[in-house]
Amino acid sequence: MIGSLLYLTATRPNIQFAVCLCARYQASPRTSHHQAVKRIFRSLKFTPELGLWYSSGFSDADHAGCRIDRKSTSDTCQLLGTSLVSWSSRKQASVFLSTTEAEYIAAASCCSQLLWMKATLSDFGLRFGKIPLLVDSTSAISVAKNPVLHSRTKHKDVRFHFLRDHYEKGDIDLVHVASENQLADIFTKPLELQVEGVDNALIKGEIESQWTGLIALLV
């Protein structure tokens, strides 16, 4: 079931977060996990006409989002023009003490994907200047732009500091985006439920309470 859902994320990125979260429990699944997977299938069945539209590229991180080991999740999406061509939602390998670190690592992951796309498209004769990378953490942007290492940043692995290197080379441009406009949030947390066409407040509240239970399960 998880394999089928992972295949569907290629065209339905809105289920990426829920599917990846359920995939973490394949080794020892419980009844609650099986119910969550069935609800994802049910959602897909009744929303075949829905889609997502993105106007720019974003990276984001869910700091200490996993309640078991408190590891964060890196989430990125890349666009070519106005078309979403690549996205990912991946649990980070280490536990970080601050949201700045988690956002910085997510931005480094997004930078790596952008550089790969840039190199691939250059084979077709396309040329790019600075590629904008939108991050909603001003502190993470400051770390990437600051060439001086100090006690708060020197412990970060060297492989992540290539983000700063490529910023200085002019390959990418780090741009701040407000958290409420951070579209990469779709990969870090469950989607909000909006019940339409329901007039009775009691019925609407009951529907929302059931979905809140699903959200609590997935988180």
Run of H or E residues at 101: helix 99-122
> Which pLDDT score, from 0 to 100, does residue 158 have?
59
- Answer yes or no: are the C-beta atoms of 89 and 109 closer than 8 Å: no
pLDDT-derived band at 143 (thresholds 50, 70, 90) equals confident
pTM of the model: 0.56
Q: Which residue has the higher pLDDT, 207 or 20?
A: 20
Q: Looking at the domain 58-186, which fold is it?
A: Nucleotidyltransferase; domain 5 (3.30.420)
Mean of pLDDT values over 4-14:
78
Q: What is the mean pLDDT of the chain?
A: 72
Outline which parts of the chain fall under CATH 3.30.420.10: 58-186
Stretch among 8-17, 63-72, 147-156 having the lowest mean pLDDT = 147-156
Q: Which residue has the higher pLDDT, 42 or 65?
A: 42
Q: Is the per-residue pLDDT at 77 higher than 70?
A: yes
Run of H or E residues at 73: strand 73-80
Q: Which residue has the higher pLDDT, 196 or 7?
A: 7
Q: How far apart are the first and last CA of the chain?
A: 20
